Amino acid sequence: MLIIMKTIIPTMFMKKNKLNYVIIFLSILFISPDLFPQTVYSSTTDGIYKYLNDMSIKGYINFDNSIQPLSRKYLLQKIKELDVYMSKLNEIDSQLKDFYQKEFGLELNLDRKISDNEIYWVKDKYRRFRLLSYSSDLFKINVDPILGISFGKFNGNNVYHRWNGLKFYGYLNSSIVFSFYFRDNLESTTLADFNDKNTPATGIITTRKDINSLEYDDVRVNISYDWKWGQLSVGKDFLNWGYGENGKVVLSNKTPSFPNVKLDIYPTPWLKFNYMHGWLKSNLVDSLNIRGQKETYRNKFIAFHSISIIPSKKIEFSLGESIVYSDQLEFSYLIPIMFFRLADHYLANSTNTFGGNAQFFFSMSFKNIIKNVNFYTDLFIDDITIPKILKSNNNNKVGYTLGLKTVDLPIQNIYLNIEYTKVVASVYEHSIEGQDYKSSGYYLGHWIGSNADMIFSSINYRFSRELQATLWGQYIRKGFIANNKLSNIPPSFLSGLRTSSTFFGIDIKYEFIHELFARAKFLYHKISSEQTNGTFIDNSTTEFNIAVYYGL
C-alpha cells in the first residue's frame, strides 16, 4: 500500500487538481487499521422507524431519528435495548419487537465466527423469508425480490401500477459494505400525474411515456465505511432531515434520490455531526457544452452539515446549514466544518450575481416530558433579516412545521398526530437560475412548495401485529403568482390567485410476513381554485385502489 501511495501521490500533485487533496485524505482514512465497516442504511419507508420512534415516545429508549436513513447496525442496537423493557411492553409492541429483530440476521452474525459457509434459500437462519441469504467469514449477503401490483379507480377511470425489481445488501471482509436497490415501474398517466403534483410521494424521472402509461425507475446504492466514532458513505440515496409525518421543510423524499457523499461523526453519545455533499439535477441545458445533437445539463450541487445535541432521551435539538450552487465544483464546500455562508461571501466577492444560495435550519423534539406525547418543530430559513423579525409583515423567507404526536392515548395502540406547516412566498426559489432549492424539478424540502400552508391530522390504530388502519385529513392553502420575478422583497404570504385543497383518506394495511403486504386506500380530494375575476371554481376527485406487494 505504501508503494502505491508513493507512486500515485506525486502524480496527483503534478496534475494540480484540488480534488486530489480530498482523495488523498480519504485514502489515508480508509487504510487505517482501526476501521471496521458495518454500515448498511435501512430505507426510510421501513416500518421499524415508526415503531422505534413510538417506543422512544413511551420513554423506553433514546431514538435519534432527526436524520434518515439510519444504519441497520443502529436500528438493531435500539431493538436490543428494548429487551430490558419486555415486561412493560404491551402484547402488540412485544410481538413487533420480536418480528423486527428477525430482520437483522446478518448483523447478528457479524461478530460470530463462521466455520462453515451458510447458505439459505427461501428462509434465512432466523426463519425470515429471503430469496437468498449467505454468510461466511469473508462475505455476507441478503438478496430479496421487489414485486407489486396496484389497481383501482381514479375519478371513474381505471388506474394501475405495477413494479418489480431487486435489492441486496451485504458485507465483504473488513473493508467494504454495500447495498443496492432497483425498482422498475409502469403506471397509468392519470394516477402518476396526480401523485406527482399533490402528494408527498417521491417525484419521478420518466423513461418512457405514451397516452395511457409511463415508465420510470428508482435506483439507490451505497458503499459505506464505519469506525468507532463515525462513518462515511458514497452512494445515490435520499437524505431526510428534521421531523414531520407528512413532509419535511428541510430535506425530504419528494425529490428523486441523487448521488452524494456523507460523513457522520459521533464523538460522544450526546453529540453528532453530519456532512453531505450532493450532485443535484438542474434540468437546465448547458448551452456552452452542446456537441452536435447531444446536450448536457448544467452542474448543480448541494453542501449540507448539521450538529445534533441530545442531552437526554427526552430532548433533542439540531441546527445546520446548506448551500446550493452551480456550474463549478467548489473545494470550499468539500470541507465538512466550513461555514458555507462565509465561504459564499468569499467566492461571490460581495456580489449577488455570483456565489450560491445558502440556507439555515433548526429542529427540536421533546418526547415523553408529558407522558406518551412528542412535541416537535422544524424551522427552515432561506433568507432572513434580523431587524425585520418582530414586524408583522417582515418578508423574511422562512418555512416551519409544528407538530404533536401521542401514543396509547386515550387507549392502547392508537396513535394521534397533528401538525401545521407554513412556507412563505419565495422560499426554495432563487433569482439565479440553477440555484433554487430543487433537484430534477422537485423541491428538496416540503412538497407543498412556497407560498402555502397546511394542517394535517391522522389517527392510526393497530389491531394486531399484522393489521393497522389510518384515517387522515389535510387542508392546504396555496397562492400562485404568474411570471413571478424574485426580488429582494418577496410577495406577501398567499398573495396571487389562491387554491384551497381538502383531503380525506383511509389506509388499511396488512403485513402477512416481513415486507409482504396487502393494502387498500381511499382518498377524497376537493380543490377550490380562484379565478382572475375573484370567483372560485370547485372540483373534486375520488381515488380507490388495492395493492399486493413484497418489498418496499
Report the C-alpha gap between 262 and 276 in whole angstroms: 4
- Which of 98-112, 279-293, 426-440, 466-480 is the most confident on average? 466-480
Amino acid 470: pLDDT: 97
Amino acid 221: pLDDT: 95
330: domain range?
Answer: 32-550
pLDDT per position as a tens digit, 471-487:
999 999 999 876 555 55
Question: CB–CB of 426/486 below 8 Å?
Answer: yes
Would you say residue 24 lies in a domain? no
DSSP letter for each residue of 293-336 = TB--EEEEEEEEEEEEEEEETTEEEEEEEEEEEESS--GGGGST
The yes-or-no verdict on residue 17 having pLDDT over 90 is no
The yes-or-no verdict on residue 459 having pLDDT over 60 is yes
Under the banding of pLDDT at 50, 70 and 90, the label for residue 488 is low
Would you say residue 247 lies in a domain? yes
In this prediction, what percent of the chain has a pLDDT beyond 90? 59
In this prediction, what percent of the chain has a pLDDT beyond 70? 84
Q: Which three cell numbers stand for residue 394?
A: 417582515
pLDDT per position as a tens digit, 339-363:
998 888 788 765 555 678 999 999 9
Which of 3-17, 457-471, 514-528 shows the lowest per-residue confidence on average (mean pLDDT)? 3-17
Amino acid 287: pLDDT: 67
Under the banding of pLDDT at 50, 70 and 90, the label for residue 11 is very low
- Contacts for 193 with CB less than 8 Å, ≥ 6 apart: none
Would you say residue 14 lies in a domain? no
CA dihedral (390, 394, 399, 403) in degrees, to 10, reads 40
Amino acid 345: pLDDT: 79
Amino acid 379: pLDDT: 97
Amino acid 393: pLDDT: 53
The more confident residue out of 176 and 218 is 218
Helix/strand number for the chain, H first, E second? 8, 27
Closest CA to 301 of 283, 274, 323: 323
pLDDT per position as a tens digit, 160-195:
999 999 999 998 876 788 999 999 999 987 766 666
- Which of 108-122, 280-294, 445-459 is the most confident on average? 445-459
The more confident residue out of 267 and 288 is 267
Average pLDDT, the chain: 85
The yes-or-no verdict on residue 310 having pLDDT over 60 is yes
Summarize the confidence of residues 517-546 as an average pLDDT: 93
Report the C-alpha gap between 169 and 253 in whole angstroms: 21
pLDDT per position as a tens digit, 47-73:
899 999 999 999 999 998 899 888 888
Query: Kind of pairing, strands 452-462 and 414-423?
Result: antiparallel
Give Cα 230 distance to the centre of its chain.
Answer: 20
Would you say residue 65 lies in a domain? yes
- Contacts for 222 with CB less than 8 Å, ≥ 6 apart: 40, 41, 178, 179, 233, 234, 235, 236, 237
Would you say residue 233 lies in a domain? yes
Would you say residue 8 lies in a domain? no
Amino acid 31: pLDDT: 38
Q: Which three cell numbers stand for residue 436?
A: 433554487
Amino acid 152: pLDDT: 94
Burial class (CB in 10 A: 0-12, 13-18, 19+), 111: exposed
Report the C-alpha gap between 188 and 200 in whole angstroms: 18
Amino acid 399: pLDDT: 95
Summarize the confidence of residues 141-153 as an average pLDDT: 95
Report the C-alpha gap between 352 and 348 in whole angstroms: 7
* CATH classification at residue 471: 2.40.160.130
The yes-or-no verdict on residue 311 having pLDDT over 80 is yes
- Contacts for 63 with CB less than 8 Å, ≥ 6 apart: 52, 53, 55, 56, 78
DSSP letter for each residue of 482-506 = TTPPP-SSPPPTT-SEEEEEEEEEE
The more confident residue out of 228 and 83 is 83
Under the banding of pLDDT at 50, 70 and 90, the label for residue 39 is low
The more confident residue out of 80 and 113 is 80
Would you say residue 2 lies in a domain? no
CA dihedral (215, 155, 548, 106) in degrees, to 10, reads 60
Report the C-alpha gap between 547 and 528 in whole angstroms: 30
pTM of the model: 0.87
Amino acid 274: pLDDT: 96
Q: How many domains does the chain have?
A: 1
Would you say residue 10 lies in a domain? no
Q: Is the dihedral of CA 84, 85, 91, 97 positive or negative?
A: negative
Amino acid 351: pLDDT: 59
Under the banding of pLDDT at 50, 70 and 90, the label for residue 124 is confident
Question: CB–CB of 505/524 below 8 Å?
Answer: yes
Report the C-alpha gap between 252 and 256 in whole angstroms: 10
Report the C-alpha gap between 175 and 88 in whole angstroms: 40
Amino acid 109: pLDDT: 76
